[in-house]
Copies of this chain bind each other. A is one copy, B any other.
Amino acid sequence: MNKILIIEDDFNIRNMVNDLLIANQYITVLASGGKEALDLHTKSIDLILLDLMLPQIHGKDLIKKLKEIHDCPILIVSAITDVEMKVNVFDLGADDYITKPFQGKELLARIKLALRHNGKEKIIKYKDIKLDTEKYSAICNEKNLELTKTEFEILNLLILNKGQIVTKSILFDEIWNTKDSADENTLNVHISKLRNKLKIANNLEEYIETIWKIGYKLK
């Protein structure tokens, strides 16, 4: 789960963005101005949303320091009129630039992009399963799953498409890079092994659902 720092003086915008991010599984930290932001003791910030027009300090004067402290992507959020200032925020270290007013969807897309680019969006979750695609570790119900590489990749693909059916051809394509499966049963066996390990970790949950003749999905 990614932690995002919102630096924005306008009460309404701050709360609107905050609600949006929380609704989309982000953890938020709020600051209404530059001083507040720099004084923060919170560590492990994954991304910063920075308003340019702040009361005391101008946003552009914060970029460098924030980058030093947190070493994470900084997205500039600025009113359209600010563009006239022609500050080259990118030279100062900003990673993206969003003009107000913006669509929530757009903001989310940019955040996702920045996080992926930064290589930090590496932990994915489903129910009580946590996958760390960086370390190849899989945890279910607080217990380590000890998955093999293929098992991990299958589970990863299923979680990335949670709620949707993942067809067998997609699985073969992604895991084995072949449209025509060498042996259809290979996949079955891996799924079986996977279900076994999940069951050992958490007996009470059913994770992988079979879609007869088509593929699998996570409920």
Contacts and interface: CB of A to CB of B under 8 A. Distances in A.
Contacts of A84: 83, 97
A2 B204 CA distance: 45
Contact of A117 (B90, B99, B211, B215): B99
A106 B81 CA distance: 17
A135 B158 CA distance: 12
A95 interface: yes
Interface in A68-118: 80-81, 83-84, 86, 90, 95-97, 99, 106, 113, 116-117
Interface in A114-142: 116-117, 135-137
Interface stretch (A10-18, A162-170, A194-202): A162-170
A212 B136 contact: no
Interface residues of A, number: 29
B167 A136 contact: yes
A61 to B, nearest CB: 20
A99 B96 CA distance: 10
A190 to B, nearest CB: 14
